[in-house]
Amino acid sequence: MVYNTEMSEKNITGESIWSDIWDFIKTLLISMTVVFVLADFVIRPIRVDGSSMFPTLKDGSLGLANVIGYRVSGLKRFDIAIIYLSDKKEYLVKRVIGMPGDTVEYRDGRLFINGELTEEPFFDSAYKESYSGVFMQDVSAFELGEGQYYCLGDNRPNSRDSRYYGPFYKDQIFAKGALIIWPFDQAGVKSW
């Protein structure tokens, strides 16, 4: 049996142990930096809590939000927005209905943007029609200011959104869209 005494002596010395610890610390720091950069500038993990976006997004769904897409191209009407309420330390997932400068109004459950009837093609019509009560109550004409967005949940009867909080500001929105990873039967891109 051949025994490498040079190798065993090196492993016994404190120099080798500190070298291994330093390698571990460097790997950990590089990994944390990569995760931080990805989460802050590219994609961010999200979890859907509650039924306000049902049936588009289900309670407990896990996915990724598009941070870089939001920073590069901003928001469009009907994008899914990830909103952070710093005073409540709470994240919301809602759909952008009104853009800065728009006047938003709902009459008889129909959306009017700047006085013109606007279709909402993202709705699951079967779900909407199955609801026995008023799916969307009237909202008086509301004019959005600069940097303000009117955001609602897709499950209108069960959503706390701009009807409750008022308009959301651009600096409260940090990502858009959702790439759902779990549950597998819901996996896919939702307004990226």
pLDDT number for residue 71: 86
Lowest mean pLDDT among 38-42, 67-71, 117-121: 38-42
- Do residues 112 and 173 share a domain? yes
Q: Do the beta carbons of residue 178 and residue 47 sit within 8 Å?
A: no
Measured distance CA(155)–CA(138) in Å, rounded: 15
Would you state the pLDDT for residue 12?
55
What percent of the chain is modeled with pLDDT above 90?
56
* Residues 109, 19 share a domain: no
Task: Give the total number of structural domains in the chain.
Answer: 2
DSSP 8-state secondary structure symbol assigned to residue 59: T
What's the mean pLDDT in 48-52?
93
Most confident of 19-23, 90-94, 183-187: 90-94
Average pLDDT, the chain: 88
* Strand-strand pairing, 173-182 and 188-190: antiparallel
Please report the pLDDT score of residue 18 as a whole number. Answer: 85
Same domain, 164 and 143: yes
pLDDT of 173 reads 96
Residues 78 and 100 in one domain: yes
Q: Is 32 left (phi over 0), alpha (psi -120 to 50) or beta?
A: alpha
**Residue among 186, 183, 173 at smallest CA distance from 65:** 173
The β-bridge relationship of strands 103-107 and 90-98 is unpaired
Please indicate, yes or no, whether residues 34 and 79 belong to a single structural domain of this protein. Answer: no
Residue in 43, 71, 72 with CA at minimum distance from that of residue 180: 43
What residues does 113 pair with on adjacent strands? 104, 116
Considering the domain architecture, whether residues 32 and 109 belong to the same structural domain is answered as: no
Mean local confidence (pLDDT), 100-122: 96
32: containing domain: 5-38
What is the reported pLDDT for 2? 52
Q: What is the DSSP letter of 171?
A: G
CATH number of 132's domain = 2.10.109.10
Residue pair 41/70 in contact by the 8 Å Cβ criterion: no
Half-sphere exposure of 136 (CA within 13 A, CB side): 24
* Active site amino acids: 52, 94
Residues 90 and 26 in one domain: no
What is the average per-residue pLDDT within 64-84?
92
- Residue 183 is predicted with a pLDDT of 86
Residue 130, pLDDT > 80, answer yes
pTM: predicted TM-score of the whole model, two decimal places: 0.79
Q: Tell me what percent of the residues of the chain surpass a pLDDT of 70.
A: 89
Q: Are residues 14 and 101 in the same domain?
A: no
Are 61 and 147 found together in one domain? yes
- The larger pLDDT score, comparing residue 15 to residue 155, is at 155
Residue partners of 147: CB distance under 8 A and separation at least 6: 100, 169, 170, 171
Together in a domain, 25 and 54: no
Q: Are residues 53 and 111 in the same domain?
A: yes
17 and 60 share a domain? no
